[in-house]
Structure 1
Amino acid sequence: MQAPTIGGVQVPRGDGTTIVQVRQGASLTDFADKINANPASLVTVLFHLGEMATATQSLDEDTFKVLGSELGYDIRMVSPEEEEKELFDSFNIDLEFGVDSEDEDDLEARPPVVTVMGHVDHGKTRLLDAIRNANVQAGEAGGITQHIGAYQIHREHEGVDRPITFIDTPGHEAFTAMRARGAKVTDIAILVVAADDGVMPQTIEALNHAQAADVPIVVAVNKIDVEGANPAKIRQQLTEYNLVAEEYGGETMFVDVSAKQGQNIEELLEAVLLTADAALDLRANPDRDARGVAIEANLDKGRGATATVLIQSGTLRVGDAIVTGSSYGRVRAMLDEHGNQVPEATPSRPVQVLGLSSVPRAGDTFVVAPDDRTARQIAEKREAADRQASLAKARKRISLEDLNQALAAGKVDTLNLILKGDVSGSVEALEDALLQIDVGDDVDLRIIDRGVGAITMNNINLAMASNAIIIGFNVRAEGQNADYAEREGVEIRYYSVIYQAIEEIEAALKGMLKPEFEEVELGTAEIREIFRSSKFGNIAGSIVRSGEIKRGSKARITRDGVVIAENVEIAGLRRFKDDVTEVREGYECGINLGSFNDLQLGDLIATYEMREKPRA
């Protein structure tokens, strides 16, 4: 390798065939590490190529290609998945765990993983209650499921005890991200539709997620005991979305249930098992290191960071070193859904894991590492990649090209938020929903920090430094932290139902927008006579044609449809010898237009005012 001088700086050069792999969203600093160069020198090179970028700014593929061709490198962009595989390969950890990647002799049958989906208030939580005879709903704010939970139940099918794992996903549309994640780890989706309500927008949304995840669907027509229930109508409505009931010659199983009365629950479970046996090859290798997904995670006061994980392959045992997302640790204990300790968890088994270093995100994959040191190294590399991705995400949505326009139009207002919640799934879903709020380009929303657990002094200090508002979702600032926030003027808003938070933040964003005004016409008057006055100038003897003419309002003068004067003030208004404040339609009056005297008979005086337009 030689080091040519480009723009006065020395940069290591490739021979044109040297392949350098960089991840999507990488910066010049990452590229500099790969070719052993100084990031500042690459900034200079890029400047001479007509591109301006900082060393830590994420660059697109085209910019990297231009830089690579200049320096003699063949730059290949790799996806986060490919980079992840590369990372694990370097530690000799095999990420392949599907049925196709295993030896047939090693595979054993595993329970189906079922997600319950549907519109809000259609009875998903009550149906799960009926299935597992445990009341989840009593602790939910507003009767809406706020967390993802995973449970396993047992049912006898054809003389064999069959376990079924249920993932409970929240029903409100703001939890789209969670619901989509539920569909990714699931084998079968139960679509709950209320027989008295029919197919609703979130029903279609849930259906789209299930179909996108390519999972079989069993439809539970709920509330058949309610007056006005029409199960046949539900079957007919869902045919429009390619869900044709078996009785109509289709492949989808429909079961009429009443979660409240506990009616036909056994038949629904039967339908799930029949669908699993008919449509899916549910097998996994239990005799390998465990792989799976973190369904939920939170910070427990007594237990520290905990995560509910779903085993997808292998067997997880107490004492295993695991890494999930940027969190790592040794499995100190595993608990089932009833809080009982279990020594090991086989495929499709959900368990709560204790012993992690930090709270992972809902949806993070977890793997068993050979030892604690390897787990920590993988977690640290993942964390660095995540930090880089979040920096790219947090950058202002304004580029160098449109900076001048933004400055000319007045600065871009920004609302900074810090999100804290009781579980990571809620925080992520709330972040996802808030970032989708669109109130135009004048206002920007930035989430500068998010986390799980109570609101801490660090959160409050960050909010002070960045003029941010703290959103507490099922968590609070307590004791001296609350006093400190109040003393320093840091605003903390508390919520227990997610869509209230979304509505209020959207309202706040709209409040930050510069007001929009629209012109409202008040009245028009036609000039019939012109009187000359040495004291007042020309007086327009007029008749009010529409609305009313008010003294002090703004006016526009038109002649034969052409505007000859704008922004003229109605300086005086008289009826006979009396000064008046307004004259209504059909009455005659004298109008004094102040210093404007260019009047002719037949001119039209139109008065108007500017009113603030409410934001949609």
Structure 2
Amino acid sequence: MTDQTDKPKLGTRPPLGLKRTVETGKVKQSFSHGRSNTVVVEVKKRRILGKPGEAAAPAAAAPAPEVQQQAPAPAPKPVAPPPAARPAAPQRRLSEAEQIAKRKEDLERFQREAEEARMAALEESRRREDRAKVEQSEDEKRRAEENRKAEEEAAKRAAEEAARPPEPEPEAAAPATTSENREPPRRAGFTPVGPSPSKRPEPQRPSPSRGRDDRQRGKLTVTRALSGEDDSRARSLAALRRAREKEKRAHIGSGPREKQAREVVVPESITVGELANRMAEKAADLVKSLFKMGVMVTVNQTIDQDTAELLVTEFGHTVKRVSDSDIDIDTAADVDAEDTLRPRPPVITIMGHVDHGKTSLLDALRGANVQSGEAGGITQHIGAYQVTDKAKHKLTFLDTPGHEAFTEMRARGANVTDIVVLVVAADDGLRPQTVEAINHTKAAGVPMIVAINKIDKHEAKPQKVREELLQHEIVVEDLGGDVQDVEVSALKKTNLDGLLDAINLQAEILELRANPDRPAEGAVVEAKLDKGRGPLATVLVQRGTLRVGDVIVVGAASGKVRAMIDDHGKQVKEAGPSTPVEVLGLSAVPSAGDQLTVVENEARAREVATYRQGVLDRKRTTSAPISFENMFANKASETIQFPLLVKADVQGSVEAIVNALNKLSTDEIRVRILHSGVGAITESDVTLAASTGAPIIGFNVRPNANARTAAERNKVEFRYYDVIYHLTDWVKDAMGGQLGPEIIETVVGRAEVKEVFPAGKRDKAAGLLVLDGAIRKGLHARLTRDDVIVSKTTISSLRRFKDDVSEVTAGTECGVLLADTNDIKPGDNLEVFEVEERARTL
């Protein structure tokens, strides 16, 4: 259906001017299910210019997908018609179907041409990029070749000039340096390619392809900007450096490397791998050489010093023989100069018998309450504290336990101290551990101050204590000696200032000094394993200053000081002489009493720690020689083993517990410590205990979750203690129970068999004459023939004539019926005895 509005009315002439070039039509679209839609379509027509008033033939216009607005064209000039001009024949209108097909064909052609143009543009862009890459690579090759030739020519000229004798140069030949001819700074050995900066070439006219060439050459460099080159650009300094490194690597790889002779330190024993590292050789080459010598070893096996020397000599190195003792650190010969020594606080150790008030006295001096935190009210650890008196003097105190099991702790405290304060209770006098403390003090050679404590009690007898000290060659000042004694009361805080004055006086006499400006050295008074912080060591610095970050060796452990904590729980950065601190950062828990030393680096620390650990391993695995008699005696003995695992909170407690348990061993039963260590009870401890059926003793420690689960599964017994004598009492009882009850036999009477009578169908009765004691019914009996035991039985029936009796005394006759035996003959002897069971005690 076409629109009729554009048709001219009948009887009218067409209007003057331009005809419309756009026709509007409607197209009906049909869809499925009887649906339809009418679409308005605009069709462009070709414009034909003619004379005014002359109808132009309409031309078929290309379809347009959307409405386009045409700008008004300028008025056409009048053109004279040709002489034989005919009026244009009217053109036939296309039908609706033809118009739709036409428009569809034009639309497809338009899309096809657009796609072809896009693909052509992409192909052209790809060809342009490939061409630019090829030109760039050729340009780089050309520049590299020019630089190489220039370097060769420069080297050749330099060689010729070096071979030629020097000639005096005229002064006029040196041009003045101005801002126009000053050359840029250059590296040594770098020769730029191209004309000199002082003679710049004439500027060339820009070529049409100048912009494209500049893009392909890359960025502008300093050399190119100063030299003004356009066609040949020199490489940058980084590029030349890379090229030289590449040539050097190629030169090194092409020829054999020159072998470097080294001085190899060879100890008394060394592994093949460690020797290979010191020689900078492959371990496989060393193993191969040893195989040729007839020595079959692996990389991890140890060889002696002579074999190592043969290997070192064979590989072209020199040998430096050292002994194993040279590896260890010996500080005995390192003595500080007198001008470097500075006064230091004294170290005082409080010693004495258990429950004589040592910790209470220290609490009164510190103003703290440490004793309430100790299990059972007794000290089981070495505590290190620093106290400042009224005169602002610093005093370092060590509190040692007084229980008999802590002998080594007291000895250790006496060895690291300057002054010993011997605490004696005025109401109790000298006790065994007091005497032991006196002996430790004498062995260490340190001065002693006697503190007579508990003078506030009514039973206190201080004079008796002074007299008892005379038995051990301790003469106090009141009795004309040189040992100071002070009467104090820790509970009432009586005469504490007098004790501090006595300590300061003794310290002034000793003139204690140390060098703080040197690497630190100290002693470990206690060590433990903390769950969150790892191995901890309570260290008393003896000389030098210990700082955070120092590399240290403590016994067979090494590490770096990560943090230091003082006795008040505060972190400190450094600790001077006579300062107790808790050190974090060790690789393992050291033993109490080990020496701490600061070394230069971690490699040295690991070397010393490895050597000390090897020494400890050899001591533990090497057994003392025994004779054949002892060997067979040990095999013949039937000593019962009582296995145990011991875990404690600190190293000193482990040491004391193991020593106390070993003292419980007897000829019949012996304690066997399978494992002892510091820290919580772990799953590996439970696994070890389960394989032997041993109980696990935890002293101030508990098992973790995995250990508890494994213990429930394997039926392992845990025993927890916080007081050491409770622990030893249980082990003593358990060892007695392991032996079983003690059987005690008491002989009641003896008799001789005179006659044997039949009693019933199978039993036999014996007529006896009681020789000694008495025979009672129901007792145990032993029948012997020619002093050989025939049977062990009991008396089931006892008769005197025909009457049943309960007991027959010596000198009378009787008849007995023995249970479970009929092997009775005249002349046999019968021994009657009682059996008593007693609990076994050690």
Give the TM-score normalised by structure 1. 0.76
Residue 760 (structure 2) pairs with residue 533 (structure 1):
no
**Matched residue SS, 1:475:** coil
Instruction: Label 1:445 to 1:217 Cα distance change in 2 as closer, same or farther (>3 A).
Output: same
* Further displaced range: 148-157 or 346-355: 148-157
Q: 1:432 and 2:659 equivalent?
A: yes
Match of 2:387 among 153, 156, 161: 153
Partner residue, 1:372: 602
Is 1:414–2:641 an aligned residue pair? yes
| Partner residue, 1:142 | 376
1:597 pairs with one of 825, 832, 836: 825
- What's the counterpart of residue 261 of structure 1? 492
Of 430, 433, 443, the match for 2:669: 443
Q: Which residue matches 1:63?
A: none
Partner of 1:210: 441
Q: How many Å apart are 1:608 and its aligned residue?
A: 2.0
Query: Aligned in 2, Cα 1:423/1:564: closer, same or farther, shift over 3 Å?
Result: closer
Question: Aligned pair in 2 of structure 1 residues 598, 586: CA closer, same or farther (>3 Å)?
Answer: closer
- 1:90 has 2:327 as partner: yes
**1:476: which partner in 2?**
702
Q: Choose from 444, 449, 468 the match for 1:237.
A: 468
Q: 2:710 is matched by which residue type in structure 1?
A: Y
Structure 1 counterpart of 2:522, from 272, 278, 292: 292
* Residue equivalent to 1:361: 591
Identify which of 97, 110, 129 aligns with 2:363. 129
1:346 matched to 2:346? The reply is no
Residue 336 of structure 1 corresponds to 566
Q: Does 1:496 align with 2:738?
A: no
Between the aligned partners of 1:610 and 1:390, the Cα distance in structure 2 is: 47
TM-score by length of 2: 0.57
Q: By how many angstroms is 1:518 displaced?
A: 4.2
Give 1:370 deviation, angstroms.
0.5
- Count of residues in correspondence between the two structures: 523
Measured against aligned partners, the alpha-carbon deviations of 1:481-503 in whole angstroms (never above 9, x if no partner) come to 21211111222221111122222
Amino acid at match of 1:238: L
1:541–1:425: structure 2 CA closer, same or farther, 3 Å change rule? closer
1:553 pairs with 2:789: no
Partners of 1:86 and 1:290 lie apart in 2 by 26
Report deviation, 1:136.
0.6
- Whether contact under 8 Å (1:456, 1:481) holds in the other structure is yes
Q: Would you say the 8 A contact 1:540–1:592 is kept in 2?
A: no
Checking the alignment, whether the CA contact within 8 Å between 1:332 and 1:355 is kept in structure 2 is yes
Of 313, 322, 325, which residue of structure 1 is paired with 2:543? 313
Query: 2: distance between equivalents of 1:352 and 1:383?
Result: 23
User: Residue 136 and residue 584 in structure 1: after superposition, are their counterparts in 2 closer, same or farther (change >3 A)?
Assistant: farther
Q: Which residue of 2 aligns with 1:194?
A: 425
- In 1, Cα distance between equivalents of 2:457 and 2:378: 21
Q: Residue 14 of structure 1 aligns with which residue?
A: none
Evaluate the alpha carbon distance shift between residue 464 and residue 385 of structure 1 in structure 2; reply closer, same or farther with a 3 A threshold.
Answer: farther
**Is 2:529–2:650's contact at 8 Å kept on the other side of the alignment?**
yes
Question: Cα 1:463–1:256, aligned 2, differ >3 Å: closer, same or farther?
Answer: same
Indicate conservation of the 8 Å contact 2:268/2:324, yes or no.
no
Among the aligned pairs, what percent are the same residue?
Answer: 46
Deviation at 1:155, TM superposition (A): 2.3
Letter of the 2:332 counterpart: E
Q: In the superposition, relative to structure 1, how do residues 567 and 224 fare at CA in structure 2: closer, same or farther (>3 Å)? A: farther
Residue range with higher mean Cα deviation, 350-359 or 376-385: 376-385
Using the TM superposition, give the Cα deviation of residue 476 of structure 1 relative to its aligned residue in structure 2, in angstroms: 0.7
- 1:220 corresponds to: 451
Cα offsets for 1:260-299 (capped at 9, x unmatched): 0000111112122223333x35222222211111111222
How many Å apart are 1:359 and its aligned residue?
1.8
For residue 407 of structure 2, what is the amino acid of its counterpart? T
CA distance in 2, matches of 1:106, 1:336: 26
SS in 2 for 1:468: coil
Distance 1:595 1:94, change over 3 A: closer
Change (3 A) 1:109 1:608: same
Structure 1 stretch 240-249 or stretch 300-309: which is displaced more? 300-309
Aligned pairs (5 A) from 1:601-616: 606-609=831-834, 611-612=836-837, 614-616=840-842
Work out the CA distance in 1 between the residues paired with 2:268 and 2:736: 43
8 A contact 1:116–1:124 mirrored in 2: yes
Specify which structure has the higher proportion of strand: 1
Change (3 A) 1:587 1:174: farther
Contact 2:781/2:833 (<8 A) preserved: yes
Q: Matches of 1:599 and 1:421 in 2, distance apart? A: 66
Is contact 1:115-1:186 (8 Å) kept?
Answer: yes
Partner of 2:465, secondary structure, is: helix
- How far is 1:304 from its partner? 2.3
Map Cα deviations across residues 27-83 of structure 1 (whole Å, 9 max, x no partner). xxxxxxxxx999xx99xxxxxxxxxxxx99xxxxxxxxxxxxxxxxxxxxxxxxxxx
- What RMSD in Å do the two structures reach over aligned CA positions? 3.5
Residue by residue over 1:82-123, the C-alpha shift from the partner in whole angstroms, topping out at 9 and shown as x without a partner, is xxx9767437x551278xx33222222222211111111111
Shift in Å, 1:337: 0.6
Counterpart contact for 1:439–1:509, Cα < 8 Å: no
- 2:429 maps to a residue whose letter is G
Deviation of residue 388 (structure 1)? 3.0
Q: Is the 8 A contact 1:570 1:591 kept in 2?
A: no
Q: Is the 8 A contact 1:418 1:447 kept in 2?
A: yes
Distance 1:398 1:465 in 2: 30
Structure 1 counterpart of 2:21: none
**Which residue matches 1:386?**
616
Counterpart-to-counterpart distance in 2, 1:343 and 1:86: 37
SS across alignment from 2:593: coil
| Pair 325,86 (structure 1): closer, same or farther in 2 beyond 3 Å | farther
State the 1:21 CA deviation: 7.8
- Kept in 2, the 8 Å contact 1:316–1:346? The answer is yes
2: CA distance, partners of 1:248 / 1:271:
17
- Partners of 1:355 and 1:226 lie apart in 2 by 48
Q: Structure 2 residue aligned with 1:109, among 334, 337, 343? A: 343
Larger relative contact order (Cα-Cα within 8 Å, sequence gap ≥ 6): 1
Q: 1:288 to 1:573 in 2, by over 3 A?
A: same
User: What is the match of residue 168 of structure 1?
Assistant: 399
Distance 2:330 2:756 in 1: 98
Closer/same/farther in 2, CA of residues 94 and 557 from structure 1, 3 Å limit: closer
SS at match of 1:243: coil
Partners of 1:500 and 1:605 in 2: CA distance: 48
- CA contact under 8 A between 2:521 and 2:598: conserved in structure 1? yes
In structure 2, how many angstroms separate the alpha carbons of the residues matched to 1:304 and 1:409?
44
Q: Distance in 2 between matches of 1:547 and 1:283?
A: 84
Contact in 1 for aligned 2:750/2:774 (Cα 8 Å): no
Partner of 1:82: none
Letter in 2 for 1:90: I
Find the aligned partners of 1:198 and 1:400 in 2 and give their Cα distance. 50
Q: Distance in 2 between matches of 1:284 and 1:88?
A: 27
- Counterpart in the other structure of 1:28: none
Cα gap change, 1:468/1:605 in structure 2, threshold over 3 Å: closer, same or farther?
closer
Q: Deviations over 1:451-491 (max 9, x none)?
A: 22211112222223344332211111132321211111222
Residue range with higher mean Cα deviation, 591-600 or 255-264:
591-600
- Native 8 Å contact 2:769 2:814 kept in 1: yes
**Is residue 576 of structure 1 aligned with residue 821 of structure 2?**
no
Deviation at 1:408, TM superposition (A): 4.4
Task: Name the counterpart of 1:76.
Answer: none
SS at match of 1:289: coil
Unaligned runs of 5+ in 2: 1-266, 270-288, 296-300, 303-321
**Deviation at 1:580?**
4.7
Q: Which has more radius of gyration?
A: 2
